[in-house]
Structure 1
């Protein structure tokens, strides 16, 4: 030991807490694991002793007793560290907080791209008994990760809808209804000619947003403006990423007075196209986004966008997962949470 260094502090035992509080070891255990069984005065006395002595339960012993590892595995979607997905970064923060509120930690796992690697990662986690269950995000139709977990009997919760033949252990938003809210907002501001900006990504949540936009525009009798026939991006903006087709959309006397984007990143292309055509965002052409990522507040003008309830989603996923782990009743259907349209200068 280095001269002058203090010896490591010995961990406080449950017996020492019990002695300090004048109770049995079982009462200390009940205070930690079943406080509803302890008289309020006794609970306060034992809690004070725990804080004063700095007692920390032995998590390994607790895991042996309860069978819980107190760890949730999160198979993170593939991402680029130099261009990260801001929505999923926010979801991860919310998931870590929600797990901590239930006394759990999150084990982050990122398999290599491909279904085989994802299945192997799940098999390894299960074989090593490292986690109580798994959380998935960016769930696709016929998702191999979900199928593997369900087939192995591993508790899981999905941010995104699973197919009908799999357990409905999911939490999601109604993407179509959220985009319908956007259309109603634009119609209420007097817009009668509207456009939709989307990427080429063939993803179920993007398809739902596109369908929600068109269905509500038809219901309200709005004109949906498409690029000129034979021009860039024909036959429509959906499926034609980039600024060029958007510029084509904005030319001519019948251009849209408002454009709804499927995401905040798509809205950046809309901003660029509007300015390239000598128009003004907001005053000339209203713009909306989707996800309400931090960039919305820093754009000029600030971007109206659909906000996802990430904290509520993460909390619901953790509760759903732990209910399975603890053998509690689990709802037969998935849970849909409401979004919020945050109105800013771009569409006022």
Structure 2
């Protein structure tokens, strides 16, 4: 086994104190750009590897962040989650931390016990939460324990904790306004169940856009169910079976899987997607651009959110910020317009919040 290079050797090579080297490597101090460049060059040349066991003992920290997520259905890939994970992995590694991914339990008690064990055994310094809902037991438990965490998503208005969220209401309002601009007035929504916090937030945008346009939404136009292809297909079939005078000519969907199902149902029903029935999705998954026709969808800044969540949590851990000072950051999504929602005879007016993807 080769001899381990020491921190002092890196310091000698880069011409600074070993305390400065340690702080730069651990992201605890800012130095002049040329000094930082010399330090990292010495790290690479000497192939320096920190002794994380000794580091953890000195700092009384594990330099590990816990993360668990609800698994996707076996037949439904989740590229948004993959992007989110990769962004957090990279951001954490740059600051000398790693992610510990642990199993998700649908049973609330088992779920909380997983968090408790990781806390009490000091295997993690903090947690990242996602898929946050109303009265989320994880949020309630971690707030009670005063254990560091950040979340991708909000919960009850009276619960205050560090979080970053996408303004889903704004995103669905963009999609609905786009369909209104295409001349549609009977616009349906393929939504999630009413207990879904994220779903309710997105639906606020739909109702707002319809209200501003002076259109009263009909109960028949709101179809609620799981965000899966099968539900999208059946919901669209029900909408197309409505009497002609109230049959929707457009549909906004709360995710792309529902939108893909709706496209298939519309095509099976003998209608043309885009020119006759406009359809939009949400998430802008990679498959959206390869459908026939390509799917208009709301794109979330998922990579940036993952990076910012890690930075926020580490700032909390390193006492650069406090949880009490932090307000939820709302990030705006972007509507990517494609053929599934465009009418050939309508002007292609694209506001600044929207991008066109041919």
Measured against the shorter chain, the TM-score band is: 0.7 to 0.9
Picking from 300, 306, 309, the partner of 1:308 is: 300
1:237 to 2:223 alignment: yes
CA shift for structure 1 position 73: 0.4
Gapped regions of structure 1 (runs ≥ 5): 1-7, 228-234
Deviates more, 1:303-312 or 1:16-25: 16-25
Match of 2:154 in 1: 161
SS in 1 for 2:223: coil
Contact between 2:167 and 2:330, CA under 8 Å: does it hold in 1? Answer: yes
- Equivalent pairs, count: 334
Match of 1:181 in 2: 174
Picking from 232, 254, 267, the partner of 1:262 is: 254
Match of 1:3 in 2: none
User: Which whole-Å CA distance do the structure 2 matches of 1:274 and 1:17 have between them?
Assistant: 65
CA RMSD of aligned residues (A): 2.6
Larger Rg: 1
User: Which whole-Å CA distance do the structure 1 matches of 2:136 and 2:22 have between them?
Assistant: 42
Match of 1:298 in 2: 290
Partner deviation per Cα, 1:144-203 (whole Å, 9 max, x = no partner):
111111111110011111324433211111222211111111112222221112344731
User: Which whole-Å CA distance do the structure 2 matches of 1:45 and 1:328 have between them?
Assistant: 26
Contact between 2:190 and 2:235, CA under 8 Å: does it hold in 1? Answer: no
1:16 to 2:9 alignment: yes
Contact between 1:199 and 1:266, CA under 8 Å: does it hold in 2? Answer: no
Match of 1:5 in 2: none
Match of 1:144 in 2: 137
CA shift for structure 1 position 21: 4.8
SS in 2 for 1:288: strand
Return the TM-score normalized by structure 1.
Answer: 0.86
1:97 to 2:90 alignment: yes
Deviates more, 1:204-213 or 1:335-344: 204-213
Contact between 2:232 and 2:259, CA under 8 Å: does it hold in 1? Answer: no
Picking from 230, 244, 262, the partner of 1:253 is: 244
User: Which whole-Å CA distance do the structure 2 matches of 1:187 and 1:34 have between them?
Assistant: 49
Match of 2:348 in 1: none
> Kindly tell me: are residues 54 and 215 of structure 1, through their superposed partners in 2, closer, same or farther at Cα, counting changes over 3 Å?
same
User: Which whole-Å CA distance do the structure 2 matches of 1:142 and 1:23 have between them?
Assistant: 51
User: Which whole-Å CA distance do the structure 2 matches of 1:164 and 1:306 have between them?
Assistant: 25
1:346 to 2:346 alignment: no
